[in-house]
Amino acid sequence: MKRILGGCLLLGLVGQVFAQSQLNGPKQYPELRTMSGLPGGLFGLDFNGVPTFSGAMAISTPVGASLGQSQYELGTSDTSANTSDFSWFSNPGQHVSHGVAVGMMGVTFRHVGYLTAGDEILSRNLDHVVNFQFSPMLKTPNLGVALGVQNAYDHWAAAGTNLPGDQASSRSYYGVVTYRYLPGSYVSIGHGDQRFSGVFGNASYQIGNRAKLLTEYDGFNFNSGVAFNVADWDWSTIDHDAQVTLFLGVIREKYPMWAVTVTF
Domain ranges of the chain: 2-263
Q: What is the mean pLDDT of the chain?
A: 82
Count of C-beta atoms within a 10 Å radius of residue 79: 29
151-174 pLDDT tens trace: 998 776 554 555 555 566 778 999
The percentage of residues in the chain with a pLDDT greater than 90, rounded to a whole number, is 57
79-94 pLDDT tens trace: 886 544 444 444 444 5
- Lowest-confidence segment of 54-58, 66-70, 144-148, 235-239 by average pLDDT: 235-239
* Nearest by Cα to 188 from 171, 205, 173: 205
Q: Name the most confidently modeled range: 104-108, 196-200, 254-258.
A: 104-108
Quick check: pTM over 0.75?
Answer: yes
pLDDT for residue 91: 47
174-194 pLDDT tens trace: 999 999 999 999 999 999 998
pLDDT for residue 197: 86
φ and ψ at residue 143, rounded to 5 degrees: -135, 135
- Identify the CATH class of 2-263: mainly beta
Per-residue pLDDT at 255 exceeds 90: no
Beta-strand runs (E) in 153-237: 172-182, 185-192, 198-207, 211-217, 222-234
Q: Sign of dihedral through CA atoms 176, 242, 104, 107? A: positive
pLDDT for residue 62: 96
Task: Give burial (CB, 10 Å; 0-12/13-18/19+) of 125.
Answer: exposed
Count of C-beta atoms within a 10 Å radius of residue 142: 12
